[in-house]
Chain A
Amino acid sequence: MERKRYKQLRAAVGVFVGAIVAVAVTRDSYLLAAAGVITGMVFMALVRSSVKIRVDEREALIKEKAAQLTYAIFAPTIGIGAFLLLMPSHSGLDVFSRGEFVYLESLGMILAYLALFLIALYAISYHFLSRKYGGGGDEE
């Protein structure tokens, strides 16, 4: 029952934050949007800490698989995207060497760093989780 109530509360907070962000966008007020989102996050964090939420193992497995799939799709996509955006500016073609498509190179650099950050984050979290769950030692 507690879980059901928590889900209802989460949906209500989601609607509330969505409404605030919609109002903020129509009024061009980024501060209001940020305040709405932060308030919603803080409220949900407080609710989570006060209500005991069961962690369902099937739900945890679904989250794991979804995260794996997201990583498997997102990392190569931004990596290839970065490569394709950076290639023309280093190709030596006249049209690109005139500096008219500098924004493409900038975007490529951003994507390249993003891909690097994502892979680094994955490697670090993998390392720490591996240690946490006892896979770090060489002993038999």
Chain B
Amino acid sequence: MMRPPGNGDRVPRRSEAGFSLIEVMSALVILAIAMTAVFATFISQQKSFTTQSRVAEMQQNLRQAVEYMSRDIRMAGYGIPDNVTIPNGVIAAGVTSIRSLYAKDSTTGPDQIYILYLFDMDDNQRSTWNTAPMASGAGSVTVDNTDGFLPTTGELVIVTDGINEQLFQTVSKTATALNFGGGTYQGFANNTYGIGPPPSTVAKARFVRYYIDNTTDPAHPTLMADRMGGAAAQPVADDIEDMQLTYGLDTNADGIIDSWVPPGAVTPPQIRQVRLQFIARARLPEAGWSETRPALGNRAAGTTPDGYRRRTYDIVIDVRNSGV
């Protein structure tokens, strides 16, 4: 196969063994053009991807905030026959009872809301009933079983016979007894609960406060749920910039909403609907984007534009257990 190299072969092969400077330069120019195009495309794709994933994240945060809060607002007052006594100052100075919900208005910041209902929808956290009379001032209640209650301290429990009801905080449990003591919600056992029939219901209470925490991390205001039992508040949705609440009132008890007012000025028994409004914003401001926080509810719009993209949500929720 091999044959000795001859002159006729050698010369052309040597001249083709490399590139001339011109060839290399023109190849580099062409490569530069192509790479510029690729890089420009990459940059714009990258920017667009970042923006879009933040927008999607923001929309998801908003949906999550609405989903969580609207469920609790719908349930507000469920299983609570009358006002429940709470220590003064827990929800607001001078307010010592709550039946379904209580909102705190602010015209310069987000509103907040307290919601109370009886929590027995879940088989794992089911309610029970007392099997022995509970005396006034008693420190514990004897019940059918305590499977649905946490063994740890700090669980909020409602005892109700359908007329009276009281909020307690547990310290421990046995198989058939819940022991109360300590905590904020102790010392209000001024009713007697007999064993019926029917016996009194003993159930977990959902007493929750929704608020926007914009002090822990001012760059990321977070919708928080505080379960009020002494445990730390939990984040519900990130980057929720504003929350505004408006009450729909039925002032003449005919089942028809007569007026919409901001919280605070009215007595809670007239509340039939709650209008819930949110502003969510993107996680980070975006270069080249300018937007001012819009007015919401009774809070005025922001004054300085920033680079956050925003979405708003505005929905009316009927309070099913408003105590008609």
Partners in one complex: no
